[in-house]
Structure 1
Amino acid sequence: MTDSEESYPRLELHYPRPVIAFDIGGTAIKIVVVDARGDVVHTRSVRTPVGEENALLAALVDAVDSTRRDFPQASPAAIGVHITGLVDDDRGVVVLAEHLGLRNVAMRDRLAGLTGLPVAFGNDARGAGVAEFEMGAARGYHNAMVVSIGTGIGAAVFVDGRLYTADGFGAELGHMRTTAVGSTAGVVCACGGWGCLETLSSAKGVEGAYARATGTAPAGAERVFAAAAAGDPVAEAVVDSCIDALALAFAQVTAILSPEIIVVAGGLSGAGEQLLGPLRTRLDSLLTFQRRPVIARARFGGQAGVIASALIAGRLSGSTGNLSTGTRE
């Protein structure tokens, strides 16, 4: 377990006691401890165990135990967890997390039983969306979409000030198809389908496309973007395909939902204007009469999910302040 170099903003919250927050992605688990003043006082990350729910739970329990042992003054009152995949927030169940090899796991109740702490639980993309909607780049808008691009692609959609969930099945943007019906062109997705958006435009998709083209696996999607900026023609083609597919997906969403703003979050948002500039141009070329959404980088970037976990943990611990309910009147 290693300390993170990231710096976090003070949260607009006041906790009676500290909370511990987890953001479980397809590659890494981000862990933060937030004190009673809303300051992040400790951060760590571990590699996500894949394919075994007991190993994942053991990693979470170990992080809680380590916090209690190493920081007794910050012993948590509650735990907040956001996880990638199809999640039933109300029941605290991971219905399907294809990148983690999980299906129908009662994660919330099992973690609560193992730690003796109350656990707040939800989908990572929706959590990141709520953080950006209440405290970040989408604050002040009523119709918004926050797209988290990491190992996979997820989204949070807000319509007339309310978070749209469809019982946990909504806004699975990463599984919008980029190929024709019945086609087996493109790459098979972790979900079993062909040509899903995240096979082209997620961090994992970008890495995979570059590896297939060159025979060399890059050390992260950010390296592919850096190579493209330096003039590598293969990297340029991979980045172009990533942006083209995102623009098409955003155009389809715009035609249906007409968001005022689309916020790009997650690890790939670190590419900044190298991603967002061409994305705006290509999206604009695809739209006709539709309202043009603002395309913005998330305020919290790749931190949005774990910040959202701190927010929902704070709700359980009785915090006051700018806590999100996922609605705006």
Structure 2
Amino acid sequence: MLDRAAGGGTDAGTDVGRAVAAQPPKVNLGPANGTVVAFDVGGTAVKAALIHPDGKMSPVRRIPTPVAGKETPALLVDLIERTIHDFSQELAGSDRCAAAVVVPGIVDEEAGTGVLAHNLGWSNVPFRPIFEQRLQMPVYFGHDVRAAGLAEYRLGAASGYENAVIMALGTGIAAALFVDGRICVARGRAGEIGHLRVAAHTACACGATGCLEAISSAAAIVRRYNARSGTPVTGADEVVQRLKNGDRSAEAVWLEAVDALAEAIVQISALIGPEVMVLGGGLAESGPDLFHPLNDALSVLGATSSPLVLPASLGEDAGVIGAAIAGRRKL
């Protein structure tokens, strides 16, 4: 169960005061019978937006994520409650309201439980019942990558396809899987493609070796480049820049990551036959530096049923948009 923080830690009210608002995404979810406050919880920031009954979305607020070990769940609940209170003036005119919260890690959406999130320090937290009790409104609770995938599937690069995989390439790697128009959830276990075995070496944090996430994630690219070059970087974007400048170590690490990603795409294609593979997250922002060698690697592998590979189109707000779509069902 959730242990409430007793003093100290992060002041959620102060965090709300420091929230940074960005321009609203250029999407309209269409009319609905009520208002949704959507939250996409990340390792460093919580994104929050209000979706009005006419389908228009407010500017997205970015609030520092409270991370304090075992106190993190309680601090997160406090932050979301205070943020909704901060929206109270805009909510005052709405007869029906719902909240939607999506988080990383393993999520049992049916039970409304955050099963495990290593980077945020919780396990088996019954978030949805807690939120419903605290907020006194219907609450959707789900997974961040599946939410972003839902947004891309409904409104973005995967729209119009029944069978699609939307992959998030960031600090870790996960995916939303759509088969015959339905999303695969499997009690929160589906889509952990970062742990496909694509090599015979390289230790992964999960305890296995050769996992995709240990080779092709942003964190792995930084770690492997630093070990290989002896000239440390702090982000995968720096590795890409050094690649462009002719750095041989950067080229080797990047191409190994691309080859492993191509191998994973072939495995996924053989298993569920997607028509399209949409790549989002920080690494996908590399554009041609990722997609050109990736398509070359897929050609070399000679896959007979390689899907169309496309960049995600909704950007970093896809998670909060997807949360809003799912939250509207609660109305």
TM-score normalised over the length of structure 1: 0.85
Give the Cα–Cα distance (whole angstroms) in 1 for the partners of residues 59 and 155 of structure 2. 21
Please state whether the residue corresponding to 1:99 is helix, strand or coil.
Answer: coil
- 1:17 CA drift (Å): 4.1
Secondary structure of residue in 1 paired with 2:28: coil
The verdict on how the C-alpha distance between 1:34 and 1:170 changes in structure 2, with shifts beyond 3 A counting, is: same
1:140-151 pair list within 5 angstroms = 140-151=160-171
**Is 2:140 the counterpart of 1:120?**
yes
Shift of 1:54: 3.2
- 1:55 matched residue in structure 2: 72
Shift of 1:27: 3.7
TM-score computed with the length of structure 2 as normaliser: 0.84
Cα distance, 1:216 vs. partner? 5.5
Q: Which has the larger radius of gyration?
A: 2
Question: 1:235 is matched with which residue?
Answer: 250
Aligned mate of 1:34, from 41, 51, 54: 51
Tell me: CA distance 1:133–1:240, structure 2 relative to 1, closer, same or farther (3 Å): same
Output the amino acid matched with 1:187. A
Partner of 1:293: 307
State whether structure 2 residue 25 is matched by structure 1 residue 11. no
Kindly tell me: are residues 16 and 162 of structure 1, through their superposed partners in 2, closer, same or farther at Cα, counting changes over 3 Å?
closer
Contact 2:66 2:75 in 1 (8 A): no
**Is the CA contact (8 Å cut-off) linking 1:260 and 1:294 kept in structure 2?**
yes
Q: CA deviation at 1:175?
A: 1.0
Shift of residue 90, structure 1, vs aligned partner: 0.3
Distance in 1, matches of 2:99 and 2:179, equals 29
Give the alignment's Cα RMSD to 1 decimal.
Answer: 2.4
Higher relative CO (Cα under 8 Å, sequence separation at least 6) belongs to 1
1:306 aligns with 2:320: yes
Structure 1 CA distance, aligned partners of 2:244 and 2:276?
Answer: 27
Match of 1:327 in 2: none
Please give the alpha-carbon distance, in whole angstroms, between the structure 2 residues aligned to 1:247 and 1:287.
Answer: 11
Counterpart residue type for residue 220 of structure 2 = G
Q: 1:282–1:179: structure 2 CA closer, same or farther, 3 Å change rule?
A: closer
SS of the aligned residue for 2:116 comes to strand
Is the CA contact (8 Å cut-off) linking 1:11 and 1:39 kept in structure 2?
yes
| Range with bigger deviation, 54-63 or 259-268 | 54-63
Residue 243 of structure 1: CA displacement? 1.0
Quickly say closer, same or farther: Cα 1:47–1:204, change in 2 above 3 A: farther
CA contact (8 A) 1:34 1:42 kept: no
Q: Flag the 1:163–1:275 CA change in 2: closer, same or farther, 3 A.
A: same
Match of 2:101, as an amino acid?
V
Measure the CA separation in 2 of the matches of 1:159 and 1:265: 19
**Of 258, 279, 285, which aligns to 1:264?**
279
**Distance in 1 separating the partners of 2:211 and 2:60:** 33
Tell me, which stretches of 5 or more residues in structure 2 are unaligned?
1-17
Q: Give 2:265's aligned amino acid.
A: F
Matched residue, 2:39: 22
Task: Tell me the secondary structure at the aligned position of residue 13 of structure 1.
Answer: coil
The change in CA–CA distance for 1:74 and 1:213 in structure 2 (over 3 A counts) is farther
DSSP-derived class of the 2:130 partner: helix
Q: Structure 1 residues 194, 98: CA separation in 2 closer, same or farther (over 3 Å shift)?
A: farther
**5+ residue gaps, structure 1:** 319-329
Mapped contact 1:198–1:205 kept (Cα < 8 A):
yes
Cα deviation digits, residues 145-199 of structure 1 (max 9, x gap): 111112211111122222222232222101112333xxxx31332x333332112
